[in-house]
C-alpha cells in the first residue's frame, strides 16, 4: 500500500511536467511518422522499379538502417552531422527517428504493393492506362489498405522508440521521468508512472488505427 500511495503522490506532483513531455513526445512521433512515411514510399518505389541502380540505392539504405541500432543513428545524426549542418537535439532526434522508420515503412509499402494481384495491373494497361496511372489509380489504393495494420504497428513502435532521444537531452517523457527519479530517489515508482503515460498513448494510437482499419474495411481490400 505504501508503494501505491507513493505512485499516486508522484503522479499528482509531477503531472504538469509530464504533460509537457507528452506534447514533445507526440511532436517527435508525428514528425518521425510523416518523414518516415514519405521516405518509406519513396524507397519502396525505388526498390520495385526496373532500375538496378535505384534498387541498389534502396537496398543499401534499408540494409544500413535496419542493420544498425537506432541509438547509434540518433548519436550519429546529433554529433556526426554537425560536420555538415548543426541541428538542435529535438530535430536531430526527430529526423533520426524518421529515417529509421522510413526503412521499415519502405518494406511495408513494398510488400503491400507487390501483394496486389498482378492481373489487375495487366488489365489496366490493356485498357490503355500508363504505368503511372495504374500505380496511382489501381495498385496504390489497394496497397494502402493492405498496409494499414503493419503501418499502425510501426507508428506505435515509433512512439515507444521516441524514448531513446533522452540520450541527447530532449525533454520527452522518459527524460522527464529520469530526472524526476534521480531527484526523488523513487526510481521504481516514477518509472511505473511514466509507463502509465506510454500505455495510455499506445492505447489511443491503437484505437485510432483500428478505427481507420474499420473505416477502410481492410479485410475486403
Q: Per residue in 198-216, is it b (16+ CB within 10 Å) or e — as a string?
A: beebeeebeeebeeeeeee
Determine the structural domain holding residue 180 and report its residue range: 2-220
pLDDT attached to residue 61? 96
pLDDT attached to residue 1? 67
Output the nine-digit C-alpha cell for 49. 522499379
Q: Which long-range contacts (CB under 8 A, 24 or more apart) does 84-93 make?
A: 89/165, 89/168, 89/169, 89/170, 90/24, 90/27, 90/28, 90/165, 90/170, 92/168, 93/28, 93/162, 93/164, 93/165, 93/168, 93/170
Give every CB contact of residue 27 below 8 A, 6+ residues apart in sequence: 90, 94
Residue 110: exposed, middle, or buried by beta-carbon count in 10 A (0-12, 13-18, 19+)?
A: buried
Give every CB contact of residue 96 below 8 A, 6+ residues apart in sequence: 70, 73, 74, 76, 77, 78, 165
Say if CB 161 and CB 97 are below 8 A apart. yes
CATH of the domain at 69: 1.10.3720.10
Q: Domain tally for the chain?
A: 1
What separation in angstroms does the CA of 43 have from each of 107, 111, 219? 9, 12, 26
Mean pLDDT, 10 residues at a time, the chain of 221 residues: 78 86 95 96 92 95 96 90 79 94 95 81 72 76 86 93 92 90 87 93 91 69 45
3-state secondary structure 115-178: CCCHHHHHHHHHCCCCHHHHHHHHHHHHHHHHHHHHHHHHHHHHHHHHHHHHHHCCCCHHHHHH
pLDDT attached to residue 110? 92
163 φ, ψ to 5°?
Answer: -65, -20
The vertex-49 CA angle with 105 and 62, nearest 5°, equals: 35
pLDDT attached to residue 219? 47
pLDDT attached to residue 9? 82
Amino acid at each position: 500500500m505504501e508503494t501505491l500511495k507513493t505512485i499516486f503522490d508522484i503522479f499528482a506532483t509531477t503531472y504538469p511536467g509530464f504533460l509537457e513531455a507528452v506534447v514533445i513526445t507526440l511532436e517527435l512521433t508525428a514528425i518521425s511518422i510523416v518523414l518516415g512515411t514519405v521516405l518509406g514510399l519513396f524507397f519502396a518505389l525505388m526498390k520495385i522499379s526496373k532500375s538496378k541502380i535505384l534498387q541498389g540505392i534502396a537496398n543499401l539504405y534499408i540494409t544500413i538502417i535496419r542493420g544498425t541500432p537506432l541509438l547509434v543513428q540518433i548519436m550519429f545524426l546529433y554529433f556526426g552531422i554537425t560536420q555538415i549542418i548543426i541541428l538542435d537535439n529535438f530535430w536531430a532526434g526527430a529526423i533520426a527517428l524518421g529515417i529509421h522508420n522510413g526503412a521499415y515503412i519502405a518494406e511495408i509499402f513494398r510488400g503491400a504493393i507487390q501483394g496486389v494481384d498482378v492481373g489487375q495491373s495487366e488489365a489496366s494497361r490493356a485498357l490503355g492506362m500508363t504505368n503511372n496511372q495504374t500505380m496511382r489509380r489501381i495498385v496504390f489504393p489497394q496497397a494502402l489498405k493492405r498496409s494499414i495494420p503493419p503501418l499502425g504497428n510501426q507508428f506505435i513502435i515509433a512512439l515507444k522508440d521516441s524514448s531513446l532521444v533522452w540520450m541527447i537531452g530532449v525533454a520527452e517523457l522518459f527524460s522527464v521521468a529520469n530526472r524526476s527519479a534521480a531527484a526523488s530517489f523513487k526510481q521504481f515508482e516514477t518509472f511505473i508512472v511514466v509507463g502509465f503515460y506510454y500505455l495510455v498513448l499506445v492505447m489511443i494510437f491503437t484505437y485510432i488505427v483500428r478505427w481507420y482499419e474499420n473505416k477502410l474495411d481492410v479485410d475486403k481490400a
